[in-house]
């Protein structure tokens, strides 16, 4: 039977799966940063540090735990906030 509404990956109206959610969440909330810092222990005296992170307020911890599960590595780190928000900031890195 032919249908005007095909099923499968080509149908963009289908509900995204877990992998697609992680991709979208990372795109919206993720950050990749590269820093160059002075380090006399390195041969040239400088060190390149890189980090991938996703930051959320503590009530959204389950979203970061889902990312931790999806990537299979990393850690969730709590940072105290210095702004006017009450809940701590969590960073999946």
CB 35 within 8 A of CB 48: yes
Nearest alpha-carbon partner for 31 in 70, 6, 67, 4 = 67
Q: What is the pTM of this model?
A: 0.69
pLDDT (tens digit per residue) in 8-39: 555 555 667 998 999 999 999 999 999 999 99
Rounded Cα distance between 20 and 15, Å, is: 9
Rounded Cα distance between 62 and 46, Å, is: 37
pLDDT (tens digit per residue) in 38-58: 999 999 999 999 999 999 999
Domain ranges (residues) in the chain: 53-93
């Amino acid at each position: 039977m032919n249908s005007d509404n095909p099923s499968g990956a080509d149908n963009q109206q289908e509900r995204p799966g877990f992998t697609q959610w992680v991709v979208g969440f990372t795109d919206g909330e993720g950050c990749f940063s590269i820093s160059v810092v002075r380090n006399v222990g390195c041969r040239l005296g400088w060190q390149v540090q890189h980090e991938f992170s996703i930051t959320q307020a503590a009530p959204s911890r389950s979203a970061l735990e889902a990312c931790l599960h999806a990537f299979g590595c990393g850690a969730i780190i709590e940072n105290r906030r210095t702004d006017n928000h009450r809940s701590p900031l969590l960073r999946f890195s």
